[in-house]
């Protein structure tokens, strides 16, 4: 059996010694980029690798032509596959990703694995907190990867759109754009990360934390289906974005759990959009 959306801490604990499973810690703090690694060193799920959002899950913020691509643009696809091989990931490896933020950062790696065509990838539901709540062990040892993985290039399972596509959609109005940021940032209030406050004209708002219950686990597929069907009519005509293409992946995971496949990611998101003063702001 493979897991392609969520996995429980109890189930993961039964597979820690399975050589075909790889666990990756994605903890991060946007205000303190070193915090995730520090937390990892202080204790993580045994045998878990560490993925740094800025270095492993994002590429250069400025393109060769000097264009700003957003705060967390996608890395070069070949470079990302090389990183996955360094973590020991093969074609059929079951990958489990987690953080301590309700899946806020782990969902980004989940989406990126689908981006390179890897289906058996799941987010630990409830994150590290769910693991610790069961009294399961943690380790301070960094695993030594004896053999590099052999994951190869596959067709993407995760559609994406460019800033040009989003700009064109302002006129065509074919795609439904959903912003995953908090309601206040969506309204242009309390903006402390990007230089401009506001949102892309025509976008709707679905705060990624609304996908979770009070204990930090995802809502049921039935509840997510009901809530998301009230927001979008056709997932294949929907685009998810946020500040920099990270928490938008949380909404994409929620859609997948709900059985609503086919929505696209705008990787550059608001950070790329607002970098050009010619683009309109709402």
Task: List beta partners, residue 176.
Answer: 238
Give CA–CA dist 277/13, Å, rounded.
50
Cα→Cα distances 43→2, 27, 29, 38, 49, Å: 27, 12, 16, 9, 12
CA 230 to chain centre: 23
Residue 26 known to be catalytic: no
Burial of 222 (0-12, 13-18, 19+ CB in 10 A): exposed
| Phi and psi torsions of 191, nearest 5° | -80, 110
Q: Specify which residues 139 forms β-bridges with.
A: 44
Bridging pattern class, strands 238-241 and 94-98: unpaired
The partner residues of 24 in beta bridges, in order of sequence, read 49, 97
From the candidates 26, 242, 249, 274, give the one annotated as an active-site residue: 242
- Cα–Cα distances (Å) from 40 to 121, 139, 145, 242, in that order, read 20, 9, 17, 26
Q: What three-state secondary structure class fits 262?
A: coil
> What distance in Å separates the CA atoms of residue 9 and residue 217, rounded to the nearest whole number?
11
Which residues are known to be catalytic?
Answer: 242
């Amino acid at each position: 059996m493979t897991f392609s959306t969520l996995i429980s801490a109890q189930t993961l604990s039964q597979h820690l010694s399975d050589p075909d499973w790889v666990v990756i810690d994605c903890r991060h703090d946007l205000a303190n980029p070193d915090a995730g690694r520090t937390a990892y060193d202080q204790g993580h799920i045994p045998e878990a690798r560490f993925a740094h959002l800025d270095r492993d899950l994002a590429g250069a913020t400025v393109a060769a032509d000097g264009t700003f691509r957003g705060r967390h643009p996608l890395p070069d696809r070949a470079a990302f596959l090389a990183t996955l091989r360094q973590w020991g990931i093969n074609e059929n490896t079951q990958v489990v990703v987690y953080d301590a933020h309700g899946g806020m950062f782990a969902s980004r790696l989940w989406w990126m694995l689908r981006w390179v065509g890897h289906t058996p990838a799941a987010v630990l539901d409830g994150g590290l907190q769910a693991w610790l709540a069961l009294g399961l062990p943690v380790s301070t040892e960094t695993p030594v990867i004896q053999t590099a993985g052999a994951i190869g290039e596959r067709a993407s399972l995760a559609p994406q759109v460019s800033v040009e596509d989003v700009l064109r959609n302002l006129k065509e109005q074919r795609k439904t754009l959903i912003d995953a940021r908090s309601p206040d940032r969506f309204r242009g209030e309390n903006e402390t990360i990007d230089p401009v406050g506001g949102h892309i004209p025509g976008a709707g708002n679905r705060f990624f934390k609304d996908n979770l219950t009070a204990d930090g686990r995802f809502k049921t597929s039935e509840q997510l289906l009901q809530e998301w069907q009230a927001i979008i009519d056709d997932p294949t005509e929907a685009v998810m974005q946020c500040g920099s293409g990270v928490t938008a992946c949380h909404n994409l995971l929620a859609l997948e759990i709900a059985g609503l496949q086919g929505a696209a990611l705008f990787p550059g998101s608001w950070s790329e959009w607002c970098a050009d003063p010619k683009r309109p702001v709402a």
